[in-house]
Chain A
Amino acid sequence: MKLLAYFRSLAAKFFHPSRSEAELEEELRSHIQHRADDLERSGLNRAEAERRARIEFGGHARFKEESRQELGGNFIETLILDVRFGVRVLRKSPGFTIVAVFTLALAIGANAVVFGVMNGLILRPLNVPQAESLYGIEHAKEHSMYESYPDYLDLRDRNRSFDGLAGFTIDQIGVDTGENPSHAWANVVSGNYFDVLGIQPYLGRVLHDSDEHGPNSAPYIVLSHAYWHNHFQDDRGVVGRVVRLNKHPFTIVGVAPPEFHGVLLIAAPDFFVPLVNLEQLEGKNTLDVRRTESVFMTLGHLKAGVTPEQAVADLNSIGAYLEKNYPRDHGTTTFTLARPGLYGNFIGGPMREFVTGLMLLAGLILLAACANLGSLFAARAADRSREIALRLALGASRNRILRQLLTEAILISLTGGAVGLWGSVALLRWLSMWQPVPKFPVNVPVTPDASVYGIALVLAVVSGLLFGFVPVRQVLRASPYQVVKAGSSGTVGRRITVRELLLVTQIAICAVLVTSSMVAVRGLARSLHSNFGFNPRNAMLAETDLNMAGYRGDQVPAMQRRMIDATAAIPGVESVGLVGRAPLNGGGFGALVFTDRTTDLRPSNAAANAIRYNISPEYLQAAGTALLAGRAFSWHDDKNAPRVAVVNRQFAGKLFGSTMNAVGGHFKLRDGTSIQVVGVVEDGKYMNLTEDPEAALFYPILQAPMSETWLVVRSNRDPRQLAAAIQSSLRGLDSGLPVFVETWNQQLGFALFPAQVATISLGVLGAMGAMLSITGIFGMAAYSVSKRLKELGIRIAIGAQPKEVLQAALGRAFKLLAIGSAAGLVLGLLATRVLASIVYQATPRDPLVLAGVVLAMLLLGLLATWIPAQRALSIDPLTLLREE
């Protein structure tokens, strides 16, 4: 009960802080009146009596303050007083307040955004039941999770560690619901997929093991909630309807719940179809081939009590079994477990590194901001030393004054934090809606949640305390007598002050940020201009898969040839080539190749794992790939002619020693087929921009047909007109064929996406760092000039030249800038090694970057000291001396 009463009185004080205050006032007044009554009785007149009574009473304000503390619940009351006073003080210097709040808003906002991304992509578990025991199976040798379907079945049935093992792959599928044909992205899943993940249907039912009865036995489709919402207008009668996928009828059996977006965080599928029907979807049956890795990822929940180590041992024993029984298909087969959300360590590894790096940089920004504000606060405390001295002299305790200063700091940091959080939440929401690559269902699920708000609050309070504590020593040391006597001119020491240390730290941090963002920008610029092995300028890509329109077997190359002819006939088109899948498109097909002398064709004996492309004769010309030796294909390289291939320089070097030896030479495939090399082309980039030179080989489409079709159309015409022309001429051939047309440069956006994201985020952080160093140097320089106005005035009066004045006023600021920049540059160069893994050709040992950083810091210094320098030069000694 007592506690309750205490809280009630506390609440009363909080909401009516003036009531107890008024009571206190009345009681003290009553005391003085009584004393005055006595004095009046002893013969004084009333006015004199009251005056004497007040004097006798002593320090009214001090006793009131002490009484207030004794009244209890004073923490909140003092806090309210402090906050009120703080707001008043801050309102009196709006410039300082706005700069401080803005600085913190930027710094805390940056941290909240980066944390939001880290939270969404790395920390937050996948949105499925019991996500903590859900693992994907990754190959230990390489960061990939591909399996062939028979291998998947062996893993599923032979393991003793998983509560069911699901598998899925990703396919682009032509959808015909009776309206416009469109393409969509599907997860092609094993029958147990939903049951392994524990996903209940939102509508209808999901797929089950019992649906699988051999190849093409389960023509069922489960829609994602978003696809159902966007394409079926939330029609609950959709269950039971038949849609055509790649021309095959599939029955919609249900809709997945809205919060389920598959297990890949950054790519949500439009719908789910059964893996046993893969033949209908891909046009060829790969389910019984151990050599074709048709399963993108296998995953499942570990059984209760099974540790990841035990599971890995279990899986490796299955790997050994596969190795022993299928030596032609398996090299050493070992496994690890990885989180499925970012495709194990393939994307997850670099992503984790990059986001952690960003988080560190963002932390540095906040630290720099704190250093910045710390020195601002110290300068302010020095300026307010008279006020503080006066308050100390009037009997305020040092604790009370410190508390007041800290309250001001926290007020600023909380306001800054709130503004920053507001901005970052808006940015995160936008990021979550963002579709960076129009063709792919890539999204960034980083909707902010409670932990983002929590982190922002903690950061705000911690940074407030951090920079609020900087002036503490100064206040504790202050002797009111000295300050009042000497005035606030302060001493100009040669000693290094805390403030200067802070400034150097801050400049160093900013130089780190500027360095890393410059390295990233340079890297990106270089990767945009590096040699891809093809020329993306003035070229358009028209992409489709003939399988989506039901073409089979020999129909495929025939149709492809008609498509080439049709587009080549468009006016203004210089050349048209066809490739199975354009390079740098986030995937490719590998082929193990052996020298002609190899007889034991097991994977470990392969001379290279070459990336394979199927091209039409004109492709090399249309793509702008230089032929170094030999010949390109012709339409006579067909099924009746001997198998031929064009290889790249890397391939030629690996198998034949040199480009010249390669032409006319032979190599073997895993099935023993011998193929003759007829030409050698330049090396290029195939899977991603940061790869080392890879071996690649090209087959003629007539000898190795492929339904996936990318037309490379080279032309100087306006891309939009050309795209429309391509669309209409292809629709003229087959109106049921969905075609996606874009420029090759647009298409490269996918390959450049990571580098671009890295560059933009580093660029933003670098700009923020630059801004912080400007305000920091400006604050320091302006302060030192204003402190030394009198001294500078005297110097000018006795004949100092402008150069000497500047030297005196700003020399120190510049020296600090130089020290900080040098330290930051060195640190930045060390830090950017991390960048090299993401940003192609991001090398810190680049004279342009070094020069750029030095120049940038110099410019920042000049910019920041410009106004203080002007002020120092415009000092009029006469006015100044008269004033003080």
Chain B
Amino acid sequence: MSGQAQLLPGTLDLLILKAVSLGPLHGYGILLRIGQISGRALLIEQGALYPALFRLVRQGLLKASWGTSENNRRAKFYELTSLGRKRLKEETEGWNRLAAAIASALAAEPEEI
């Protein structure tokens, strides 16, 4: 478990959007992609992915279609919609601002106050 971080609430959606923005993926593929791009640092419970996926589809950020995977199995592939692309951009900016703010807050030394 060491070296892996728990997801902050609300960040799973952002990660999924990011993973899918790099190309259409099926559910398991998204998990692998998140693992890959986070350097295996983020732990996602496998089943928890699906409620999030359906939520995003319902919000119109993702669209899904059935296709055949690299393993030659039937799978449902997800890709970003234009709305999803816009949301990813906004959320990324928001996240970066937040991360920077928290980083600077945590880096504060007594003499800076």
Which A residues contact B (CB, under 8 angstroms)?
23-24, 26-28, 30-31, 33-35, 37, 56-60, 62-63, 66-67, 69-72
User: Are B47 and A62 closer than 8 Å at their CB atoms?
Assistant: yes
What are the 5 A-B residue pairs with the smallest beta carbon separation, nearest first? A63-B47, A70-B54, A34-B28, A66-B51, A58-B47
User: Are A30 and B47 closer than 8 Å at their CB atoms?
Assistant: no
Contact of B51 (CB < 8 Å), options: A30, A35, A70 = A70
Contact of A35 (CB < 8 Å), options: B46, B48, B76 = B46
User: Are A34 and B51 closer than 8 Å at their CB atoms?
Assistant: no
User: Which residue of chain A lies nearest to B55 when distances are taken between CB atoms in the complex?
Assistant: A70
User: Are A27 and B47 closer than 8 Å at their CB atoms?
Assistant: no
User: Which residue of chain A lies nearest to B50 when distances are taken between CB atoms in the complex?
Assistant: A67
Task: Choose, from B15-23, B67-75, B86-94, B99-107, the stretch at the interface.
Answer: B67-75
CA distance A167 to B73 in the complex (A): 90
User: Chain A's nearest CB lies how many Å from the CB of B26?
Assistant: 7
User: Are A60 and B28 closer than 8 Å at their CB atoms?
Assistant: no
User: Are B46 and A30 closer than 8 Å at their CB atoms?
Assistant: no
User: Chain A's nearest CB lies how many Å from the CB of B20?
Assistant: 15
Select the residue from B47, B51, B54 with max chain A CB neighbours within 10 A. Answer: B47
User: Are A26 and B74 closer than 8 Å at their CB atoms?
Assistant: yes
User: Are B74 and A30 closer than 8 Å at their CB atoms?
Assistant: yes
CA distance A656 to B32 in the complex (A): 115
Chain B residues lying within 8 Å of A59, measured Cβ to Cβ, are 47
User: Are B51 and A31 closer than 8 Å at their CB atoms?
Assistant: no
Given the known interface contacts A27-B76, A30-B26, A34-B69, the answer about A57 and B46 at a Cβ–Cβ threshold of 8 Å is yes
Contact of B48 (CB < 8 Å), options: A28, A63, A69 = A63
Chain A residues lying within 8 Å of B29, measured Cβ to Cβ, are 34
User: Are B47 and A60 closer than 8 Å at their CB atoms?
Assistant: yes
Q: Does B27 contact A (CB under 8 A)?
A: yes
User: Are B73 and A34 closer than 8 Å at their CB atoms?
Assistant: yes
User: Chain B's nearest CB lies how many Å from the CB of A520?
Assistant: 62
User: Which residue of chain B lies nearest to A71 when distances are taken between CB atoms in the complex?
Assistant: B54
Q: List 23 A-B contacts (CB under 8 A).
A: A23-B76, A26-B74, A27-B76, A28-B47, A31-B28, A31-B50, A34-B26, A34-B69, A34-B75, A35-B28, A35-B46, A37-B71, A57-B47, A58-B46, A58-B48, A59-B47, A63-B50, A63-B51, A66-B50, A70-B51, A70-B58, A71-B54, A72-B58
User: Which residue of chain B lies nearest to A56 when distances are taken between CB atoms in the complex?
Assistant: B46
Q: Does B112 contact A (CB under 8 A)?
A: no
CA distance A377 to B46 in the complex (A): 39
CA distance A69 to B28 in the complex (A): 21
Restricting to B29-50, which residues have a CB under 8 Å from any CB of A?
A: 29, 45-48, 50
CA distance A842 to B27 in the complex (A): 79
User: Which residue of chain A lies nearest to B58 when distances are taken between CB atoms in the complex?
Assistant: A72
User: Are B75 and A67 closer than 8 Å at their CB atoms?
Assistant: no
CA distance A66 to B52 in the complex (A): 9
CA distance A24 to B54 in the complex (A): 10
Chain A residues lying within 8 Å of B58, measured Cβ to Cβ, are 70-72
Given the known interface contacts A57-B46, A58-B47, A63-B47, the answer about A30 and B54 at a Cβ–Cβ threshold of 8 Å is no
Given the known interface contacts A58-B45, A72-B58, the answer about A28 and B26 at a Cβ–Cβ threshold of 8 Å is no
User: Are B46 and A27 closer than 8 Å at their CB atoms?
Assistant: no
User: Are A27 and B28 closer than 8 Å at their CB atoms?
Assistant: no
Chain B residues lying within 8 Å of A71, measured Cβ to Cβ, are 54, 58
User: Chain B's nearest CB lies how many Å from the CB of A477?
Assistant: 28
User: Are B50 and A30 closer than 8 Å at their CB atoms?
Assistant: no
CA distance A57 to B44 in the complex (A): 10
User: Chain A's nearest CB lies how many Å from the CB of B46?
Assistant: 5
Chain B residues lying within 8 Å of A37, measured Cβ to Cβ, are 71, 73
CA distance A693 to B4 in the complex (A): 99
User: Chain A's nearest CB lies how many Å from the CB of B24?
Assistant: 15
Chain B residues lying within 8 Å of A35, measured Cβ to Cβ, are 28, 46
CA distance A30 to B78 in the complex (A): 14
User: Which residue of chain A lies nearest to B46 when distances are taken between CB atoms in the complex?
Assistant: A57
User: Chain A's nearest CB lies how many Å from the CB of B109?
Assistant: 43
User: Are A67 and B51 closer than 8 Å at their CB atoms?
Assistant: yes
Chain B residues lying within 8 Å of A67, measured Cβ to Cβ, are 50-51, 54
CA distance A63 to B45 in the complex (A): 10
User: Chain B's nearest CB lies how many Å from the CB of A144?
Assistant: 71
Chain B residues lying within 8 Å of A24, measured Cβ to Cβ, are 50
User: Are B27 and A31 closer than 8 Å at their CB atoms?
Assistant: yes
User: Are B48 and A30 closer than 8 Å at their CB atoms?
Assistant: no
Chain A residues lying within 8 Å of B76, measured Cβ to Cβ, are 23, 27, 30
Chain A residues lying within 8 Å of B27, measured Cβ to Cβ, are 27, 30-31
Chain A residues lying within 8 Å of B52, measured Cβ to Cβ, are 70
CA distance A69 to B51 in the complex (A): 8
Chain A residues lying within 8 Å of B74, measured Cβ to Cβ, are 26, 30
Chain B residues lying within 8 Å of A23, measured Cβ to Cβ, are 76
User: Chain A's nearest CB lies how many Å from the CB of B83?
Assistant: 13
CA distance A27 to B74 in the complex (A): 9
User: Which residue of chain B lies nearest to A69 when distances are taken between CB atoms in the complex?
Assistant: B51
User: Are B45 and A30 closer than 8 Å at their CB atoms?
Assistant: no
Chain B residues lying within 8 Å of A58, measured Cβ to Cβ, are 45-48
CA distance A369 to B4 in the complex (A): 59
